[in-house]
Amino acid sequence: MVAWLNIFKLIGFVNPLRIGIALLAIIAGLINCKELFFYRKGITLMIQDKHVGPVKQKVANVAKLVKKGSMPALIGASIALAIFASLVELPCTAGFPIIYTGILTGYSLPVVAHYSYILFYNLVYVLPLVTIITIFGYTFKGKPIRKSTMAIIKFIGGVIMLLLGIILLVNPGLIGL
């Protein structure tokens, strides 16, 4: 998010950028909403099946390193796994951070305030995820989430993205821009 913020600050938050972010949000929102009716059919922002196997294999390899206890190998494997997972998940997770940092750039704030808002966003974003993952971990005990549940989650996220995109496109004054 800091990288997006700095890119947006460098090029400035101009109307073409606002419109571009709005269109990106609308397109991503539509794709996510589509999942409720056509789950993983056509264009999707979910991790593709062909990437699931390699990610699981890399996680298994890191688990083996943990059992062996080789710290340098564990650190290297963790870095490699993090980079690989980030590249695979980027299209799935970039929407909201791009929208948020784009909106944040539109405000004339001190640098410390920009970074404080990014920290706040990440706390608000990450803490519920940790809670949800913990609850799911204990509730489902490793069982996969049903497709219907995942489709509903994607739909809700898509509606939020659609609304933000439309607001950015039609009336950015509603969010203070």
Question: What pLDDT digit, counting tens, does each position of 10-32 carry?
Answer: 776 667 777 888 898 899 899 99
pLDDT tens for 24-77 read 889 989 999 998 999 888 888 777 777 777 777 877 876 776 677 667 766 776
**Does 92 score more than 60 pLDDT?**
no
Distance CA 168, CA 101 (A): 13
**Does 171 score more than 80 pLDDT?**
yes
Q: How many helical (H) and strand (E) elements, i.e. helices and strands, does the chain have?
A: 7, 0
Q: What integer pLDDT is reported at residue 6 of this predicted model?
A: 78
> Is the whole model's pTM more than 0.75, yes or no?
no
Which has the closest alpha carbon to 28: 15, 48, 46, 14?
Answer: 46
Q: What is the mean pLDDT of the chain?
A: 79
Distance CA 1, CA 115 (A): 9
Distance CA 70, CA 14 (A): 50
Tell me how far apart the terminal alpha carbons of the chain are, to the nearest angstrom. Answer: 19
Q: What integer pLDDT is reported at residue 33 of this predicted model?
A: 93
Per-residue buried b or exposed e for 127-154, using 16+ beta carbons within 10 Å of the residue's own CB:
eeeeeeeeeeeeeeeeeeeeeeebbeeb
Mean pLDDT of 146-162: 87
Q: What integer pLDDT is reported at residue 10 of this predicted model?
A: 75
Mean pLDDT of 66-93: 67
